[in-house]
Amino acid sequence: MSNANTVTAAIKEVGHKVFGGYAELLRIPHTARYSIGGVIACMPFPMIGMTITISVQHYYGNYSLAGMLTAVQAIALAVSTPLLGKLTDKFGQRQVSIPTIIVWIVAAIALTTSITNRAPEWVLYCLTPFLAAIPPWGAMSRARWTKILKGDRERTDRALSLCGVLDECMWVVGNPLASTLAVISGLLAFSFTGMCVVVGALMFLTELSTEPPSQTVLARREGITRKEYREREAAKADALRVETAAEETRRRLEREGVTDEAQIRAAIDKAVADARSGKKASIWGPGLIAVCVTWFGLGAFQSAAGISIIAFATESNMKQYTGFVFACFSISSLMGALVYGAKNWSIALWKRFYFCLAVVNLGIGTFMFAKHLWVIMIIYLIIGVCQAPTWINGNQLMLHLVPPSRLTEGMAWMGAMNSIGASAGSAIAGQFIDRMGSHGGFMVVTVLALGSLAIALIGFKQIKSSTKQPTLTEVAV
C-alpha cells in the first residue's frame, strides 16, 4: 500500500511539474476561451492542404495539379498573412477577422463545388488563392498573452509553449480528420472546416477584455490621428534607442576599466550617433531575416514530405491511413511541447534552436530510405518531439527581434516565409512524383531538408547574437 501511495504521489508530482504551469495560465480569467477558440478556428491550416491534395487527385488524377494548387494557396497565404497581421495591429483583431472569415467561407464553397464537378483547371487556380483569407489566429493569440503577461519573462515563455501545445492538438485532430473526410467527400471535409472556423471565431472574437488595443484605439485615446501617434511613438523609440546605446556603452567601458572622461564621452557620442543613424520604422534586421529564411526552408521540405507520403500511401493502397501517419508526428510533437514548455531552460536559446532543427531536418531526410508507410510513421514519432520545440524557439526568438506592439506582424512574416517555402516544396515534389513516383518526391524532401539546415547554419551568427540582447522594450511603432 505504501508503494502504491509513493507511485501515486510521484505521478502527481510529475503531472504538476508538466501541467501545473499550463493550468496556472489557463486559470487566468478569459484566457482558456480565446486560446481554445483560436485553435478551433485554425483548423483550415492542417485540413485545407491535405483536402485539396486528396480531392484533386481523386477527381483529376493529377499530383502536379494538386501540388500546384496547394502551392498557389500557400503563396497567397504568404502574401495575405503579413498584410492581415499589419492590419490587425493597426485596426484591431475583430475589425480585420470578420470580413476575412466571410471571404474564406465563400471561397471554400465555390472551390468545393468546382472540384466535385470537375470544373476546368483555370477555375481552380482562380478560386484557390481566396482560401488564404485566414486571420492570423496564432499570432493574435500570442499577442494577447504578451499583453496579459507583460513584464513576466518566465510565464510569457511558458505561454508561448502553451500556444505550441495547442497548435499541435489542432494538427493531431486535423490531419486524420482531413484524410478520412476527404476520402469520403471533399464537400464533407470543407463543411467541417467551415464549421470550426465559425465556432472558433465566435469564441475568440467575443472575448473582448484580453484583446490588445490597436494603434487606432491608442491614437483615439490620445485624441490624435494614427499617423500622429505613429510619429510620436517613433520619436519615443528613437529616444529610447539613443538612451539605451549611451547607457550600454558607459557600462561596457566601466567593465573594461576605462576612467578617462574624455574617452568615455567620445565613445558615448559615437554610440549615440550610430543609434540615430539606424533605420527607424522597420522591424527588419539580420536576425529576423535569418529566422525567416530558415522558416522558408522548413516549410519547403515539410510540405514536400506531406505530398510524397500521400503518394507513397496511394501506391501502397494505404491512402486512408495517411492522416494517422501525420497525426503520429503531431502527437509526438505535442508531447515534446508539453515537456519542453514545462521546463525553465538554462541552455542558451540558440543552442536549443539548432539542436531541435537538426533533429527534424535530418530525420525527415531519411524518408527516401523507408520501404513501408509504418517505417515513416516510426520516424515521425521519433523526430516529432523536436518539431513543436523548434517552433517555440522561433517564437521566442521573435521576442528578441521585434517590439511587442508589432509581434503580430513579425510572427506573420515568419509564418508567411514558411508558407512560401511550403508552396515551393509541394510544387516541386508534385512534378517529381508524376514522373518518378513517390521515390522522386522523397528525393526532393531529402535535398530540401539538407538545404534548409545549411541555410540555418549560414544565419548562425545573426541568430546567436540576437539571443544575447534582452527582450525588446514595448514601443508601439
Q: What is the per-residue pLDDT for 102?
A: 92
- Comparing CA positions, the residue from 409, 403, 348, 389 lying closest to residue 161 is 389
Place of cell 539606424: 278
Helices and strands counted in the chain (H then E)? 20, 0
Q: Tell me how far apart the terminal alpha carbons of the chain are, to the nearest angstrom.
A: 62
**312: exposed, middle or buried (Cβ count in 10 Å: 0-12, 13-18, 19+):** buried
**Residue from 283, 274, 291 nearest 394 by CA:** 291
Residues of the chain with pLDDT under 50: 279-281, 471-477
What distance in Å separates the CA atoms of residue 460 and residue 287, rounded to the nearest whole number? 9
Q: pTM to 2 decimals?
A: 0.63
Which grid coordinates are listed for 399? 521576442
- Domain-by-domain residue ranges, the chain? 13-216+281-466, 218-276
13-216+281-466 has which fold?
Answer: Growth Hormone; Chain: A; (1.20.1250)
Helices 261-276 and 226-255, interaxial angle, to 10°?
150
DSSP secondary structure letter of residue 207: -
